[in-house]
Amino acid sequence: PESSPPTAKATVSQYACQRRTTTENKNQIFTDAFEVLAESYEFNEIEGPCLAFRRAASVLKSLPSEVDCMGATQDLPCLGEHTKAVMEELLQCGHSFEVEKILSDERYQTLKLFTSVFGVGPKTAEKWYRRGLRSFSDILAEPSIHLNRMQESGFLHYGDISRSVSKAEARALGNVIDEVARAITPDAILALTGGFRRGKEFGHDVDFIVTTPEPGREKTLLSNIMDELKEQGILLYSDYQPSTFDISKLPSHRFEAMDHFAKCFLILRLEGSQVEGGLNSAEGDSRGWRAVRVDLVSPPMDRYAFALLGWTGSRQFERDLRRFARLERRMLLDNHALYDKTKKEFLAAATEKDIFAHLGLEYIEPWQRNA
Ligand code: DCP
Ligand code: MG
């Protein structure tokens, strides 16, 4: 071309589902700070600023290079005044006064510690904090506190499940579950989802979809799998939630609402001998096994693509997919279905690509969804 005009710098979309975000984060100094601020707002139940900092972090994660001056933020979406003030401080002196203050705050530290236990959410953590409890030994020594079953095993396996799960461990668990599922029904389908599907090296748990093409069979598959895991002596904890899926329901407006597929939240015992390169264990730990958090979800086959898209994440990517669908396309999307409000009809999909196409979005690969 003889006289191509100077190419305009590609604009960054306000929607994470129109950005490509790999696991390589060039702006971690900023995004770590934003995550502390978001979490602090979350602990105080202040939703607006919490989401604003998460959105800002997500935008910076998508950038191909480090932001090295405020000028570079000029054309970026989702960066408000507060966000920019924090960035400016980080650029000037390498740390943020506000973030440092939160990190040294007793309430923040305590809520962070308590919510790191499986089964303890911000509400429970807050309740314990208000009662003057500050450490795990405070909680365990307090006779009036009743731990539920989930929290009991959260404390019991704390050392193991607070340590991250490696990709090799995730793969090993996949092999275990795959074998169990196929022994139950030879046509079982297993897919790794969550952070590992996005190419992350480590995760806090391992997420799988497990189902079968046989209609209706997915409703009992998970309890069959759990029975077998129990039989093998590797089921350390299980919370089974049967399907409440209703095909006639419109997709949910609420993002945080869990989907209605049969699912279970597990803690499994993983043998070191099954993991290539060995366990991601504490130094000097010679038990030869570790406990790992595993989530299984079992959608009917005709909803497989929606479930896969929904469980692959990231959370921010999912939020923005739904927001984009609603605001830009007048469609409702959740883990079960896509509904076109204009045409007043459900849009079927056999693959994730079909869903992106219905939404008029360029396809984003799983490893580009680390928003
Ligand atoms: N998810 C969702 N709605 C929920 C819970 C989860 O849409 N209420 C989706 C988005 C997540 C995925 O499921 O990406 C898996 O949830 P995790 O909490 O396991 O998140 P990740 O796998 O992304 O992170 P980690 O590596 O910490 O496990
Ligand atoms: Mg996960």
Domain with 60 in it: what CATH number?
1.10.150.110
Q: Is residue 279 part of a domain?
A: yes
* Ligand that lies nearest to the alpha carbon of residue 165, given by its number in the listed order: 1
Q: Which long-range contacts (CB under 8 A, 24 or more apart) does 96-99 make?
A: 96/33, 98/37, 99/33, 99/36, 99/37
Whether residue 227 is found in the same domain as residue 129: no
Q: Which of 138, 239, 285, 295 is catalytic?
A: 295
What total of structural domains would you count in the chain?
4
Q: State whether 89 and 117 are in the same domain.
A: no
Do residues 289 and 197 share a domain? yes
Residues 173 and 90 in one domain: no
Active-site hit among 160, 205, 259, 334:
205
Where residue 332 sits, what CATH number does that domain have?
A: 3.30.210.10
Residue 302 designated active-site = no
Residue 194 Cα to ligand 1 middle (Å): 5
- Strands 206-211 and 289-298, by their bridges, are parallel
Please tell me whether the peptide bond between 314 and the residue prior to it is cis, using omega within 30 degrees of 0: yes
> Is residue 179 located within the same domain as residue 293?
yes
Q: How far is the CA of 360 from the centre of ligand 2 (A)?
A: 28
Which stretches of the chain are assigned E, i.e. beta strand? 165-166, 189-192, 202-203, 206-211, 235-241, 262-271, 289-298, 331-333, 338-340, 345-346
pLDDT digits (tens, 9 = 90+) for 66-80: 999 999 999 999 999
Instruction: Please provide residue 226's backbone torsions phi and psi, each rounded to the nearest 5 degrees.
Output: -60, -40
Residues 82, 131: one domain? Answer: no
Domain shared by 281 and 219, yes or no? yes
One-letter amino acid of 322:
R
Nearest atom (ligand 1) to Cα of 205: 28
Q: Is residue 11 part of a domain?
A: no
Same domain, 144 and 89: no
- Based on the fold, state whether residues 93 and 111 are members of the same structural domain: no
Looking at residue 282, its pLDDT comes to 81
Rounded Cα distance between 309 and 209, Å, is 11
**97 lies in the same domain as 116:** no
- pLDDT score recorded for residue 79: 98
Phi, psi angles (nearest 5°) of residue 209: -100, 130
Last residue of a domain, one of 302, 321, 351: 302
Angle between helices 47-61 and 315-329 (to 10 degrees): 100
Give me the chain's average pLDDT, please: 95
- 316 in the same domain as 292: no
Q: Which atom of ligand 1 is nearest to the CA of 255?
A: 3
DSSP 24: -
In this prediction, residue 258 carries a pLDDT of 84
138 assigned to active site: no
Q: What residues sit around ligand 2, an ion, with C-beta below 5 angstroms?
A: 194-195, 203, 205, 207
Long-range Cβ pairs for the range 247-256 (8 Å, 24+) = 249/336, 250/332, 250/337, 250/339, 251/332, 251/333, 251/334, 251/336, 251/337, 251/338, 251/339, 252/332, 252/334, 253/326, 253/332, 255/318, 255/319, 255/322
Query: Which ligand does the CA of 257 lie closest to?
Result: 1
Pocket of ligand 1 (CB under 6 A): 194-195, 200, 203-205, 207, 256, 258, 310-311, 313-315, 318
Q: Let me know if residue 6 belongs to a domain.
A: no
Task: Give 3's pLDDT tier (boundaries 50, 70, 90).
Answer: low
- pLDDT, position 336: 95
Whether 154 shows a pLDDT value over 90: the answer reads: yes
Task: Estimate the share of the chain in helix, then strand, then coil, as percent rounded to the nearest 5.
Answer: 45, 15, 40
- In terms of domains, do 137 and 221 share one? no
Is 348 strand, coil or helix?
coil
Residue 194 forms part of a structural domain: yes
CATH of the domain at 224: 3.30.460.10
Catalytic annotation present for 246:
no
The pTM assigned to this predicted structure is 0.95
Domain span including residue 278: 164-302
Percentage of the chain surpassing pLDDT 90? 91
CATH of residue 114's domain is 1.10.150.20
How confident is the model over 91-97, as a mean pLDDT? Answer: 97
Give the contacts of 261 (CB within 8 A, at least 6 positions apart). 243, 245, 297, 298, 299, 300, 303, 307, 335, 336
Starting from the CA of residue 318, give the closest ligand: 1
Can you tell me the mean pLDDT for 292-302?
97
| pLDDT reported for residue 247 | 82
Q: How confident is the model at residue 324, as a pLDDT?
A: 98
